[in-house]
Structure 1
Amino acid sequence: METKQHIPAFAYKLMLLAATVIWGFAFVVMKDAVDVLPPAQLIGVRFLLTGLLMAALFHRKLRGSLNKGFLSAGLVLGAVTFLAFWVQTVGLAETTPGKNAFLTATYCVIVPFMLWAITRKRPTFANVGAAVLCVAGIGLVSLTAGSFTIGFGDLMTLLCAVFFAAQIIAIARFSKRYDVLGLTVYQFLFGGIMGLALGAATEPFPGWQAVGNADFLFNLAYLVVFASGLCYVLQNVGLAHVPEAQGSLLLSLESVFGVLASVIFYGEVVTGRMAAGFVLIFAAILISELAPTRKRSGQQDQPQAQPAADDEDYAVA
C-alpha cells in the first residue's frame, strides 16, 4: 500500500513566490525581446510555441474538446489574452519595465468595476478606496510634472490592464463549463495565430539573422518555457493548496519583482515620486485583493476572499 508523500504548506507558497519572481524578471526579458521582434510577431511566436508545448503536456485534457462551445470559448479567451499582451508589449516598447509592471498590475483594481458593469454587483467601499489610491499612484508614476500629460507607453500599459481584467472575468466564467487546462491550450494557440496574422499584415519582419541571435533565442525560451509553461504549473498547483487571500497577496509581488529586475538589469532609476506612486498602487492592489466581497442580502456570515487573479491563470508579462 503506497503512502502519499506529505508536502508542507510552505512549499506551495514557495511555488507561488517562484512564479512571481520569474514573471517579474520577464518584464526585462520582454523589453529586450521586443527590441528584436515587433510586438504582434513576438506575442504570436511566444503564444503559439507555448500552446504547442502545453498541448503536448496536457493532450488528454483535449479529448472531447473539439466542439463548437469549447472552441468558441477558447477563441474568445485567445482574442482577449492576445489583445492584453499585445497592448502591454506595445507599451513596454515605449516605457520602462518597472513602470510597465506596476501599471499592468492595476487590473486587480479594475476587475470589481468591470464586474459591476456586467453583473450589476456594486463594488465595496474597499474597492472604491483602492481605486482612489490607484489613480493617485498612477498620477505620480506616469503624469509629466507641470503638463499633466501621460506618455504613450504608460497609456498603452493602462489599456492592457483593462484587457487583463476582462481576461480574468472570462476565465472565471468559461472555466465553470469547460476544463481550464484544455481552455488554456486553445487560448494560447488561438492567441498565437492572431499574433502571427496581425504581425504579418502590419509589421516588418526583422530578418532571420536578427531572430536567430543567441540572446534573442534565450529570451524567447525564457518566455515560453519559464514565464508561460513553468509558471502556469507553479501557480495552479500552488493556488490549489494555498488560501485565496494569501495566494493573491503572493502573486501581487510580481510588480515588485518587475521593478527590482528593471533596476538591476535595465538600469531604471526610481525617483522618489515614482517610488511613492509604486507604494500607492501596491497598497491599492492589496486592498483590492484582500478586502472581503460584498454579501448578498440574507446570506449568512462566512469568511470570503477575492479570487486569485492570475497570467497567464496567467502571468501578465
Structure 2
Amino acid sequence: MKQHIGVLMLMVTAVVWGSGFVVTDIGLDYLNAYQLMAGRFILAAILLIILFGYKFKKITKRVIWKGAILGAILYTGFVLQTVGLEYTTPSKNAFLTAVNVLVVPLIAYAVYKRKVDRFEVIGAVTALIGIALLSLQSSFTMNIGDILTLLCAVAFAFDIFYTNKFVQNEDAILLTIIQFISAAVISALFVLVRGDIPTSIESIGTGGLFSIVYLAVFSTIVAYLFQNIAFKYTSATQGAIILSMESFFGMVFSVVFLHEVLTGRMVIGAALILAAIIFSEVKPTFGKRQPKLLKPD
C-alpha cells in the first residue's frame, strides 16, 4: 500500500514539474536564470520554515550535512537546466534532462556496485526513447546549451540517487527543509556576487513574481516534499522513470496553454513513457526477485 502511495506522489510531482517548463519560460522573460533560482529557493525555504519549523527540534549533524549535499546538487542541476534553456530549445532541454533516467542505475552500479536490474534498464531505455520522440523537435546538434543541459541531467540523477538513499533513515520533511535552505544560501550568494539584486518589485514584473511564487510553492515545496517522502517506498531508478513523465505533462500544458500542435510522434512518445512506467511497476510479477531499496547508510 505504501509503495502505491509513493508512486502516486511521484506522479503528482511529475505533473507539477511538467507545468514548471511553461512557468520557467515565462519567468525568463522578466528575470535571468540566477535571479529566478534565488527567488524560488529563498521563498521556498522561508515557507518551509514557517510550516515545519517545529521539526528543528529533531535536527542532527547528520541531517544537516545530508541536506546541505542535496541542496548543493539541487541548485547545480536547476541552474544548469535554466541557463541551458537560454541557449537551446525547450525540446532539447527536456530530452537531455531526461538522460538522468539512464544515469541513476549507472551511479548505483559505479558507486555502490548495486546490480543493475534488467527491467530497470529496459524501462529506462524505453522511457528515454519515448522522451526523444515526445520532446526532440529539431536536429540534434550540440551547443553550449546542450552541454549545460547534459550536465544538469547528471546533477539531477545524483539528486534522485542520494535523496533515495538519505531518506531511508531520516525525517524526509526535515531533510527537505535543510536541502532548500542550503540551495537558498547558495543561490543568494551567486546573485550577490553577480550584482543581480533586483532594485524594486516593479523591476521583477508581474510575470516574474508569478513565476517565483508558483515555482517556489508548487514546483519546489509540494513537488520535492512529495518526492522525498515517496522515495522511502520506491527505488531510485523506478522513481526516475516515473518522474520522466514530466515531459509528457509538459507537452500537455504546452498544448493547453501555449497552443502547441499535437503530432503523431508526440503521441507515440507519450505512449512509450507510459509503457516504461507500467513495465517498471509490474516487473515483480515475472521477475525472479523484487528489487530492494538502497540500503541506508
Amino acid at match of 1:46: R
What secondary structure, in the 3-state scheme, does the structure 2 residue paired with 1:63 have? helix
Q: CA deviation at 1:234?
A: 5.3
Give the whole-Å Cα distance in 2 for the aligned partners of 1:92 and 1:217.
20
Alignment partner of 1:120 is 2:120: no
- Structure 2-normalised TM-score? 0.76
Contact 1:100 1:154 in 2 (8 A): yes
Q: Which residue pairs with 1:104 in the alignment?
A: 97
Alignment partner of 1:181 is 2:173: yes
| Structure 1 counterpart of 2:191, from 186, 189, 199 | 199
Amino acid at match of 1:126: F
Q: Which runs of 5+ in 1 are unaligned?
A: 1-8, 296-300, 308-317
Q: CA deviation at 1:45?
A: 1.8
Q: CA deviation at 1:162?
A: 1.1
Q: CA deviation at 1:13?
A: 7.6
- Structure 1-normalised TM-score? 0.72
Q: Which residue pairs with 1:21 in the alignment?
A: 15
Give the whole-Å Cα distance in 1 for the aligned partners of 2:124 and 2:243.
19
Q: Which residue pairs with 2:63 in the alignment?
A: 70
- Larger deviation: 167-176 or 111-120? 167-176
Q: CA deviation at 1:69?
A: 2.8
Identical amino acids, percent of aligned pairs = 36
Contact 2:6 2:234 in 1 (8 A): no
Q: Which residue pairs with 1:84 in the alignment?
A: 77
Contact 1:137 1:279 in 2 (8 A): yes
Contact 1:82 1:194 in 2 (8 A): yes
Q: Which residue pairs with 1:311 in the alignment?
A: none
Alignment partner of 1:39 is 2:39: no
What secondary structure, in the 3-state scheme, does the structure 2 residue paired with 1:213 have? helix
Cα deviation, 1:250-292, whole Å, max 9, x if unaligned, reads 6543221112222333455566666666665665566567655
Cα deviation, 1:225-270, whole Å, max 9, x if unaligned, reads 2222233455567x4999889x957654322111222233345556
Alignment partner of 1:58 is 2:52: yes
Give the whole-Å Cα distance in 2 for the aligned partners of 1:116 and 1:217.
42
Give the whole-Å Cα distance in 1 for the aligned partners of 2:170 and 2:282.
28
Larger radius of gyration: 1
Give the whole-Å Cα distance in 2 for the aligned partners of 1:97 and 1:29.
12
Cα deviation, 1:290-309, whole Å, max 9, x if unaligned, reads 655xx9xxxxx6544778xx
Q: Which residue pairs with 2:43 in the alignment?
A: 49
Q: Which residue pairs with 1:310 in the alignment?
A: none
Q: Which residue pairs with 2:151 in the alignment?
A: 159
Contact 2:172 2:225 in 1 (8 A): no
Give the whole-Å Cα distance in 1 for the aligned partners of 2:100 and 2:141.
21
Alignment partner of 1:264 is 2:256: yes
Give the whole-Å Cα distance in 1 for the aligned partners of 2:107 and 2:205.
42
Query: Given the superposition, is the C-alpha separation of residues 306 and 183 from structure 1 closer, same or farther in structure 2, using an over 3 Å criterion?
Result: closer
Cα deviation, 1:180-218, whole Å, max 9, x if unaligned, reads 211110110110111121122236446425544222212
Count of residue correspondences: 288
Contact 1:103 1:161 in 2 (8 A): yes
